[in-house]
Structure 1
Amino acid sequence: MRPICILLFVVMITSCISNKRINYLQNLSGNEAIELDEFIPYADVDYEYVLQPHDIVEIDFASPDEELLRAFEYQGASAARGARGGGGAAGGGAMDVFYFSGYPLDKNGFVRMPVLGTIKLSGLTEEAARIKVQEAVNVYFKEDVEVRLRIGGIRFTTLGEFQSVGPKIILKNRATIFDAISMAGESSILARKNELFLIRQYDGGTKIHQINLNDRQLLASPFYFIQPNDILYLQPMQIRQIGSGENFSASLQLGLSIITAVMFFYGITSGIF
């Protein structure tokens, strides 16, 4: 029985998960640890998102002349905007209203608009892109036409140990990585929260970054805010290979199952059964 007890002990130890692997935003950086109530500046306070190819932007126009505004509208775009309604976020199953009412940038970063033709917006911030469209409008129309431009939501994808995986949309122009995690339904207890892989698009290519969700230093990281087209992938812990291990009862049930199998095998080989 002694080997069986040792086996049970080993199973219980390997099936338990420390809170240090689960809790968010711990102090893990030694002398640089962040204390409670401490002010944490952003990694880049002057950072602004730069539009990239295949982004979708919303462009609205305002003018006292309603007939003039119709020249800038594709048929059906106005109805799509009216059906948008309220709400701050949309999941993967919700209709992507900006896909129907927004203006997509092509692979070269150009957007095609009625009357104005093609305008290159990639490489520009929201405000710089708005000014560029405003200048194009002023060339064609002398009447007062005001332009509003903004990103058509933040599209990202979650994979791995999230309750909900797949493409998602946050209808804001800025969102944190925890906004994305909460929309994905929180991560599984078996997730390696110290090894979240963030796959981010850059001009001309892609980079993979590793993020530690357990560490408070994330709040001062350049990856604290997600960007359009980000992919978040959470790997499972190795414990999944031997069982769920999500709670004590699951671990105990796993251990008892192993002991039962060992005792049955021992009984057969010893001639007891």
Structure 2
Amino acid sequence: MIRLITIVLFSVWFTSCISNKRINYLQNIKGNEPIELDEFIPYAEVDYEYVLQPFDIVDIDFASPNQELLAAFEYQGAAAVRGGRAGGGGGGAMDIFYFSGYSIDKDGFVRMPVLGQIKLAGLTEEMARDKVQEAINTYFKEDVSVRLRIGGIRFTTLGEFQSVGPKVILKNRATIFDAISLAGESNILARKNELFLIRQYDGGMKIHQINLNDRQLLASPYFFIQPNDVLYLQPMQIRQVGSGENISSSLQLGISIITAMMFIYGITSGIF
């Protein structure tokens, strides 16, 4: 009986405890080129610029000395929504750019007052701004300045995050850690070496696997998130045995199992 109890305790401890190697971010996991502290890490794509895609939302507004004429080129109410914007990121409950911005349709076009349909998909922010600038210059001889920005980075979190669902970061560039911090620190039982990133491409989707434990992530092409990304963080298999979040929970699980075993042993041996 003592031998059996010893085996059970060791099994519970072995299966319930979680190594820090499975929890800590950005470890120097040995590979072909390990990254040391204070080492400069260039981005995977130094000249990275996001290319607009169908279903993105862009924020477009104009500036000119003659604001009354410019009013014809904006939807009524859009300026009021812009005036009431609050800074920072949001969890998707109130997506201000959904109401004030322009959504790119499935064919890559935005429809604007007076200017009509303009194709922006496949262009960078700067290229798209120049295209809108060219379109409005046909109506004005005086200077009109166009400002065009991505209406925030929309992404979705699923799985072992504190908060799951649609999220919005009001920036034009954000890292995967910006996304994780907005969604809430991942559960200790999350499988951080297998974060699945579902990314939209022209005509379809791809699933990429990311290792948050590995410092090489900083040089990965997936270090920066893109609009419409989906982040899915899987749970560890340890959940099938017990929570394993700390020694106390592991001991409680072991004591419960041993108590049940001793009770069954007492009944079968005639002690009780």
TM-score (norm: length of structure 1): 0.97
What's the counterpart of residue 160 of structure 2? 161
Task: Give 1:57 deviation, angstroms.
Answer: 0.2
In structure 2, distance between residues paired with 1:178 and 1:15: 27
2:90–2:169 CA contact under 8 A, matched in 1: yes
- Give distance in 2, aligned partners of 1:29 and 1:180: 26
2:111 is the alignment partner of 1:122? no
Q: Per-residue deviation at 1:31?
A: 4.2
CA distance in 2, matches of 1:199, 1:6: 42
Question: After superposition, what is the alpha-carbon deviation per residue over 1:4-47, rounded to whole angstroms, capped at 9, x for unaligned?
Answer: 12111111111000000011111113341101111000001011
Q: Which residue of structure 1 lines up, in the alignment, with residue 24 of structure 2?
A: 23
**Aligned equivalents of 1:12 and 1:216: distance in 2?**
29
Aligned partners of 1:12 and 1:139: how far apart in 2? 74
Query: Match of 1:226?
Result: 225
- Could you tell me the percent identity over the aligned residues? 83
Equivalent residue, structure 1, for 2:204? 205
Residue in 2 that maps onto 1:262:
261
The answer to whether the 8 A contact 2:15-2:241 is kept is no
Aligned equivalent of 2:169: 170
Where 1:157 maps in the other structure, the secondary structure is: strand
Residue 26 of structure 1 aligns to a residue whose secondary structure is coil
Question: Does 64-73 or 207-216 show the bigger shift?
Answer: 64-73
Q: Which residue of 1 aligns with 2:3?
A: 2
Q: Deviations over 1:175-204 (max 9, x none)?
A: 000000011111011011100000000000
**Partner residue, 2:42:** 41
**Pair 1:214-2:213 in alignment:** yes
Moved more, 28-37 or 104-113: 28-37
- Quick one: distance in 1 between partners of 2:167 and 2:161? 13
CA distance in 1, matches of 2:172, 2:247: 42
What is the distance in 2 between the residues matched to 1:261 and 1:48? 61
Instruction: Give the drift of 1:260.
Output: 1.2
SS at match of 1:207: strand
Q: Which residue of 2 aligns with 1:195?
A: 194
What residue in structure 2 maps to residue 56 of structure 1?
Answer: 57
Tell me the equivalent position of 1:91. 91
Offset of residue 171 of structure 1: 0.2
Provide the C-alpha distance between the structure 1 equivalents of 2:192 and 2:140, rounded to a whole number of angstroms: 54
Give 5+ residue unaligned stretches, structure 1.
Answer: none
Which residue in 1 is equivalent to 2:235? 236
SS in 2 for 1:195: strand
Indicate if the aligned counterparts of 1:163 and 1:184 stay in contact, CA closer than 8 A: yes
- Please say if residues 199 and 206 of structure 2, whose CA atoms lie closer than 8 Å, have aligned partners that are also in contact: yes
SS at 1:69 equivalent: helix
Cross-structure match for 1:101: 100
Unaligned segments of structure 2, at least 5 residues: none
Q: After TM superposition, give the deviation of residue 255 of structure 1 in Å.
A: 0.8
What is the number of residues matched between the two proteins? 271
Specify the alignment match of 2:148 in structure 1. Answer: 149
Q: Structure 1 CA distance, aligned partners of 2:230 and 2:125?
A: 22
Task: Give the drift of 1:261.
Answer: 1.4
Separation (CA, whole Å) in 2 of partners of 1:99 and 1:36: 42
Q: Which amino acid aligns with 2:48?
A: Y
The offset of 1:90, in angstroms, is 1.0
Provide the rounded CA distance (Å) in 2 between the counterparts of 1:209 and 1:236.
Answer: 17
Query: Does the 8 Å contact 1:23/1:214 carry over to 2?
Result: yes
Asked if the contact 1:77/1:100 (under 8 Å) is kept, the reply is yes
Please report the RMSD computed on the Cα atoms of aligned residues, expressed in angstroms: 1.0
Q: CA deviation at 1:268?
A: 2.1
How far did residue 2 of structure 1 move?
Answer: 1.5
Select between 193-202 and 74-83 the one with higher mean Cα deviation.
Answer: 74-83
Q: Distance in 1 between matches of 2:123 and 2:3?
A: 70
Give the distance between the partners of 2:110 and 2:137, measured in 1 at CA.
17
Q: CA deviation at 1:270?
A: 2.1
- Look up the SS of the partner of 1:266 in the other structure: helix
- Partner of residue 70, structure 1: 71
Deviates more, 1:76-85 or 1:181-190: 76-85
State the distance in 1 between where 2:87 and 2:55 align.
25
